[in-house]
Amino acid sequence: MADAGIGRLLISSLHQGIADVSPTRLEFYENWLSPTGMRDGRIGLAPLGAVLSFLHREEPPANDEIATRAGTCAADWTFQETSALRRWWIRRLPTGMRARAALALGKKLVVATVRRSKVKTRMRDGGAVVEIHSALFEQLRAPASVPMRGFYAAALQRLMALCAVDAEVGVAHEDEAGWSLAVTVRGARHEGAIDPR
């Protein structure tokens, strides 16, 4: 689905999530997540849809853990690509501004995974609502899109932690037109509390 803008970040993070959680299943998934596709940053909609559909049908808890781990990897890589100066500056902002910085990084991550995505953020007392409209969701059947919801929720939660914000992120609403994540900010997070994985 190169024309819809599936990015290397999504392909690589899904591959890493499978390798970390279910390494014995990696060879099976590499039928679709090929090394060539990962290197070139290209994968078709049909192969990606197959991967997501099979992930959804994995035995619990692996089905959720793979998407969560992939989202965490994508967030780590996105944060590491941010300049050291910006990372230093973000962690010294007040909590509310750190949360906004994490949301901005989250928008960057969503667009890096599927370039034809639109992300809207509405701040509210104690958190935010993040609406995601993606070309990927328009072309996948509902079961195949479930892992992506977990992927984006985990990625945003990890970005909050990396920006030293204690927050909870979950799927708030979904329908045919799109879906949204609810972010509840609980306060500041000490840097030592950030899981280095």
pLDDT in tens, 136-167: 777 776 677 788 889 999 999 999 999 999 99
Q: Count the helix, strand and coil residues of the chain and give each as a percent rounded to the nearest 5.
A: 60, 20, 20
Question: Which residues, other chains included, contact 91 with Cβ-Cβ below 8 Å and sequence gap of 6+?
Answer: 98, 163, 164, 191
* CATH code assigned at 106: 3.90.1520.10
Q: What is the pLDDT of residue 195?
A: 45
Domain of residue 26 covers 2-193
Q: What is the pLDDT of residue 178?
A: 66
What is the distance between the alpha carbons of residues 172 and 41, in angstroms, rounded to a whole number? 30
Q: What is the pLDDT of residue 114?
A: 85
Q: What is the pLDDT of residue 197?
A: 40
Tell me the one-letter amino acid at 124: R
In this prediction the pTM is 0.88
Q: What is the pLDDT of residues 88-129, one digit of tens each?
A: 999 899 999 999 999 999 999 999 998 888 899 998 888 899
Q: What is the pLDDT of residue 81?
A: 95
What is the number of structural domains in the chain? 1
What sign has the CA pseudo-torsion 149, 153, 154, 158? Answer: positive
User: What is the residue whose two structure tokens read 């509210």?
Assistant: 124
What is the distance between the alpha carbons of residues 66 and 51, in angstroms, rounded to a whole number? 11
Q: Assess contact for 111 and 119: CB atoms under 8 A.
A: yes
Going by C-alpha positions, the residue among 160, 21, 178 that lies closest to residue 114 is: 178
Helix (H) / strand (E) element for 10: namely helix 8-21
Question: Which residues, other chains included, contact 102 with Cβ-Cβ below 8 Å and sequence gap of 6+?
Answer: 90, 156, 159, 160, 162, 163, 165, 167
